[in-house]
Amino acid sequence: MGQELPVTSYALLGLLTFGDELTGYELKQRADITLRFYWVSPAMSQVYTELRRLTDAGLVEPTAEGRGQRYRITERGRRELKDWMDGTPAGFPVLKHPVLLRLLMGHVADPATIKAMLREYVDELTTALADLDEVRESLRGADAPGEAFRHPSLVADWGLAYFESEARLARETLARLDEGPLDKDL
Amino acid sequence: MGQELPVTSYALLGLLTFGDELTGYELKQRADITLRFYWVSPAMSQVYTELRRLTDAGLVEPTAEGRGQRYRITERGRRELKDWMDGTPAGFPVLKHPVLLRLLMGHVADPATIKAMLREYVDELTTALADLDEVRESLRGADAPGEAFRHPSLVADWGLAYFESEARLARETLARLDEGPLDKDL
DNA sequence: ACAGCCATGTAACTCGTTACATGATTAC
DNA sequence: GTAATCATGTAACGAGTTACATGGCTGT
């Protein structure tokens, strides 16, 4: 019906399908520990903007008035979300990967800069892995087929494997960069 | 000095560091076969906008006038690009992954929708792999350490491994989704 | 009392997109 | 001759960001 919301709206709406009611502030926190890894962490101001939009569209509703306002998804919101998932193609992921972008033009920079960048990326991945692993552990107990956090745990496992893959690729690339300049005397 | 261009400007500038002169149209094509995999494919209109901005900043210069205009990077442009790479942190990749986003809220949709989505993703990955592999093959012959396409080929190899990893994860997730509902009778 | 977190919002701005418009050159 | 590709741009718009502003509540 009233389709055509930006994907981030659906993303936030989706975070409200886990049975609880959240304030804008709490919704932002939930986005920070979930969406951030494979979508975006919207700015605080945008969370409120989206909540306003979703409310106007009747997809969420406030459960009290004044401050400390909590929002819950409506039946209409749940239907709309399902229609969106069933009726529109997901589309291919968009990756904005500044490390690969800079590696592409590696011949312009100092070799030392490139290597430092890759090492720093490995460090950041280590942190990200720890953060996501913590989230993943918090889902244990309700992650079996049919349980509430089944899908979030599948996503978390995917994310963990992705970060591990990236760390491996970064290390391999570092090694390949080291091979290079050494055998210039053959 | 005149820092603070959007990253996409630097990306396009970087595509002009491979020794040739391009029209806006050709630059867009180059972006389509390289940047698209780990950054973005800017719209045609934006390519021209960026070329204008880069020209105004003295980082690229036209080599003739009129239509069929070709642009080449200036010495200043090359310095600016290097300063940017050496002087500013790359930052962590941003992934906009609609497949994982939808999988997260898988409990809202039909199980069949989720599985169809994953199968379609595998298909799209197969296409992307073929496209990128073609690019990678075209770099052969100048991809050794010290040669012109060394870095682009490292990036392409990384991208290929990434797509393969995604395909594997999608297939594993499909398998895990199948396990689930079956043993509801134990 | 002061810091830090909880909570909500507005305003200005940038990036990047889509839609539109125009016309030259090349291929069949 | 006509379709596709090459080539260049303008205008309107939307999504999302940063900066700013406000104020309550909690712990020390």
pLDDT digits (tens, 9 = 90+) for A109-129: 999 999 999 999 999 999 999
For residue A1, the model assigns a pLDDT of 54
The fold adopted by the segment(s) B7-87 is Arc Repressor Mutant, subunit A (1.10.10)
Residues of A with Cβ-Cβ distance to B104 under 8 angstroms: 14, 34, 151-152, 155
B172-176 contacts, C-beta under 8 A, 24 or more apart? B173/A154, B173/A158, B173/B103, B173/B118, B174/B115, B174/B118, B174/B119, B176/A154
**pLDDT band (50, 70, 90) for residue B1:** low
Q: How far is CA A129 from CA A135, A159, A167, A171, B1, in A?
A: 10, 9, 10, 16, 36
Residue in the block written with tokens 């609880």: A20
The token pair at B142 is 């100048």
Which is higher by pLDDT, B4 or A44? A44
User: Looking at CA atoms only, how far is residue A143 from chain B in angstroms?
Assistant: 11
Q: pLDDT for B24-53, tens place per residue?
A: 999 999 999 999 999 999 999 999 999 999
Chain B CB within 8 Å of residue A64 CB: no
Pairing relationship of beta strands A94-96 and B94-96 according to DSSP bridges:
antiparallel
**pLDDT band (50, 70, 90) for residue A137:** very high
Domain boundaries, chain B: 7-87, 98-178
Q: pLDDT for B63-102, tens place per residue?
A: 977 778 999 999 999 999 999 999 999 999 999 999 999 9
Whether the per-residue pLDDT at A18 is higher than 60: the answer is yes
Nearest to B90 by CA among A173, A31, A174, A104: A104
Whether the per-residue pLDDT at A103 is higher than 90: the answer is yes
Strand C bases within 7 angstroms of protein beta carbons:
6-11, 14-20, 24
Mean pLDDT, to the nearest integer, of A8-23? Answer: 97
Pairing relationship of beta strands B60-62 and A60-62 according to DSSP bridges:
unpaired
Strand D bases within 7 angstroms of protein beta carbons:
6-11, 14-20
The token pair at B23 is 């029209």
What pTM did the predictor assign?
A: 0.93
Whether the per-residue pLDDT at B179 is higher than 90: the answer is no
Per DSSP (E only), the strands in chain A are 60-62, 71-73, 94-96
Residues of A with Cβ-Cβ distance to B124 under 8 angstroms: 92
Residues of A with Cβ-Cβ distance to B80 under 8 angstroms: none
Percentage of residues of chain B with pLDDT beyond 90: 91
Whether the per-residue pLDDT at A77 is higher than 60: the answer is yes
In this complex, the answer to whether residue A49 has its CB under 7 A from any atom of chain D, a nucleic strand, is yes
- Dump the DSSP string for B6-25: -HHHHHHHHHT-SS--B-HH
**pLDDT band (50, 70, 90) for residue B177:** very high
In this complex, the answer to whether residue A26 has its CB under 7 A from any atom of chain C, a nucleic strand, is yes
For residue A67, the model assigns a pLDDT of 73
User: Looking at CA atoms only, how far is residue B115 from chain A in angstroms?
Assistant: 11
Q: How far apart are CA A30 and CA A44, in angstroms?
A: 12
